[in-house]
Amino acid sequence: MYQSREPDNLESEKNHQIPILENFLDFGNHSMLIKGDTGSGKLTLCFELANTMKEKYEIYFVTKGQTTEKIYRRAPWIQSLIPPTNIIDIYAKGESSFSEDFEMYEVLNAISTMSSMIHDPFISENVKKPFIIIDAWDSIIKHVDKKKRSHIEKILLSTIEKNNAFLIFITESEDILSTESTVDGVIELIREQYELFVKRKMNILKLNGMPAIPPILSFTLSGGRFQIFSGLKNKKISHPNHFISIPNSDEKYSTGNKSFDDQLKGGFKKGSIIGFEIDDSVDRFAFVPLFAPLVLNFLSHENSVIITAPTDQDSNTLTKYVEPYIEKRKFVEKFRVIGNSINGELNLETEQNDFDSIHKKMLEQYSYFKQKNQPTLLQMDCSLLELAYQNNIDSIQKSIMMTSKHVRANNDLQILSTRQGYKSTRIIKSISDLYFRVFNYEGTVMLVTEKPYLFLSNIQANYENGYPNMHLLNSS
């Protein structure tokens, strides 16, 4: 016996909304075909869309051979959405003793009965319109010739439209051209393998009355729910707040982000080297929600941060994501950018235009912080440094190796970021304890651990606390 369980709270339910499909229904459409291979998420998408429309519609599920218990085991959260009385198993009526047409006519009779209820004078005037999901439509019609199938589909859709209802066909077959041509919308779900992980996308092939923009959406089935991945947006924070620190453990430094800490089982191990490779198609801003919380968390614990930057980099591109969100004293005393300040910002150390002098200054500052017994975070964007100091690439690589040894010996933390194709990339990957890749997938920014393989997640910017942060949504 399964106990009914309400979906998550209202705020989290918003995460599962699919605006483009909700607008499609609100536009006055009545039917949709959702196709895709086994395990692509077809049924979960149907349930999710039905859940967003439950105030307007009564939800029905027509299945072939699935018991109510099996359906609830698969998706426990739908028990209050689709009660047992609204689950119709056409196989339960004696499948083998009927003709091949039986299943199809059973569907037709069931839908006619559901639809006619809204006109029944003995039923409350407040009865909702039917929202009907037909599972395995391709299996139901597979023995029926195309002419008869087309006739039945037209009757179904005419009944649905007449009663202002909504109907979804679910299918795995590609041989359904007649259905595609008669329904108002067609969605294809695709499941792809990425190393040890799964990527999913939704192709919007047809939506009557509205443009399919964007035509492809990436999504996840994490937690058994359908959730669209979001793009990474840079947002100006009008009312900045001071960063709320997260405690470090004896063995690890917190990333400054709870969801990132959870993925890494507490954060980055002390004394480790962390590499980030950012694809060329990804804006450099993607590194901000990853790195800014880590910097802010270090400073909030009275620890130190040293960023090694090219002499021609505008200091404001670094300090604007830190200074407004931390106490002024901590920022002045603990935060250093080694390089040349274009606009004369506080905390920027001016040096000659060569990498060796910058490396020397970085070591001096690092030694100063270590004399004060302060745990230190060191960061270098090695691809930017290679671009700025093309005659000093050997020096850059030596600096990477030298500082990594100091970091391990002192139980500090080093973050090394790079782009594809730079000479430092190979060295960074070889010495890193954790190596991440940041890449674009259908308009969204993804984070994957490639050394070792731990997780694949969508990076979602989060500004709700008044400072730059993020949420990682697992791809599954």
In contact, 71 and 61? CB cutoff 8 Å = yes
Strand order in the sheet with 57-63: 87-89, 57-63, 129-134, 166-171, 31-36, 185-194, 197-207, 216-220, 227-228
Structure tokens at 246: 């997260």
What's the rounded Cα separation, in Å, for the pair 21 and 219?
14
What's the rounded Cα separation, in Å, for the pair 35 and 383?
43
Q: Give the largest Cα separation in the chain, rounded.
A: 89
Question: 209 and 339: one domain?
Answer: no
| pLDDT, position 411 | 98
What does each C-alpha distance from 336 to 308, 309, 331, 363 come to in angstroms?
9, 10, 8, 12
What does each C-alpha distance from 85 to 3, 59, 67, 422 come to in angstroms?
15, 10, 12, 62
E strand or H helix at 307, and its extent?
strand 304-308
Whole-number CA gyration radius for the chain: 28
Question: 269 and 207: one domain?
Answer: no
Residue 242, in any domain of the structure: no
E strand or H helix at 423, and its extent?
helix 423-431
What does each C-alpha distance from 69 to 3, 66, 133, 281, 313 come to in angstroms?
11, 8, 17, 46, 61
| pLDDT, position 1 | 38
**β-strand pairing of 348-349 with 335-338:** parallel
10 Å Cβ neighbour count for 314?
13
Smallest CA-to-CA distance from 369 within 307, 424, 327 is with 307
Which residues pair with residue 58 across a beta bridge?
130
Q: Which domain holds residue 220?
A: 10-228
Question: 135 and 223: one domain?
Answer: yes
10 Å Cβ neighbour count for 316?
14
Could you tell me how many residues make up the chain?
Answer: 476
Structure tokens at 36: 């895709």
| pLDDT, position 237 | 87
10 Å Cβ neighbour count for 273?
25
Structure tokens at 58: 């009564």
3-state class (DSSP) for residue 450 = strand
Residue 245, in any domain of the structure: no
Structure tokens at 153: 């589909």
How close are the terminal C-alpha atoms of the chain, in Å? Answer: 28
Question: 221 and 269: one domain?
Answer: no
Question: 342 and 378: one domain?
Answer: yes
In contact, 220 and 227? CB cutoff 8 Å = yes
What's the rounded Cα separation, in Å, for the pair 214 and 264?
33
Q: What is the pLDDT along the chain (476 residues), one digit of tens a residue?
A: 334 334 444 445 567 789 999 999 999 999 999 999 999 999 999 999 999 999 999 999 998 888 999 999 999 999 999 999 999 888 765 544 445 555 666 676 767 776 665 555 445 556 788 999 999 888 888 877 888 888 888 888 988 898 899 999 999 977 777 788 899 999 999 999 998 999 999 999 999 988 767 799 999 999 999 999 998 888 888 899 999 999 999 999 999 999 999 999 999 999 999 999 999 999 888 888 999 999 999 999 999 999 998 766 666 677 889 999 999 999 999 999 887 554 444 444 544 578 898 899 999 999 999 999 999 999 999 999 999 899 999 999 999 999 999 999 999 999 999 998 999 999 999 999 999 999 999 999 999 999 999 999 999 999 999 999 999 999 99
Residue 234, in any domain of the structure: no
Structure tokens at 437: 């890749």
Question: 172 and 260: one domain?
Answer: no
| pLDDT, position 340 | 57
Residue 429, in any domain of the structure: yes
What is the Cβ-side half-sphere exposure of residue 295, based on CA atoms within 13 angstroms? 31
Question: 421 and 306: one domain?
Answer: yes
What's the rounded Cα separation, in Å, for the pair 80 and 71?
13
In contact, 190 and 215? CB cutoff 8 Å = no
| pLDDT, position 10 | 41
Residue 134, in any domain of the structure: yes
Exposed / middle / buried, residue 416 (Cβ in 10 Å: 0-12, 13-18, 19+)? buried
Smallest CA-to-CA distance from 156 within 186, 118, 100, 115 is with 115
Residue 460, in any domain of the structure: yes
Question: 64 and 17: one domain?
Answer: yes
* Residue whose tokens read 């800014």: 292
CA 284 to chain centre: 18
In contact, 335 and 291? CB cutoff 8 Å = no
| pLDDT, position 248 | 97
- Number of domains observed in the structure of the chain: 2
**β-strand pairing of 469-474 with 456-462:** antiparallel
| pLDDT, position 73 | 93
What does each C-alpha distance from 52 to 9, 20, 342, 413 come to in angstroms?
13, 12, 51, 45
Residue 243, in any domain of the structure: no
Q: Where are the beta strands (DSSP E) in 19-128?
A: 31-36, 57-63, 87-89
Question: 212 and 276: one domain?
Answer: no
What's the rounded Cα separation, in Å, for the pair 70 and 63?
11
Residue 2, in any domain of the structure: no
Question: 61 and 175: one domain?
Answer: yes
- The CATH number covering residue 30 comes to 3.40.50.300
Question: 161 and 69: one domain?
Answer: yes
Question: 185 and 291: one domain?
Answer: no
- Alpha-helical (H) ranges within 308-381 are 316-319, 328-334, 355-371
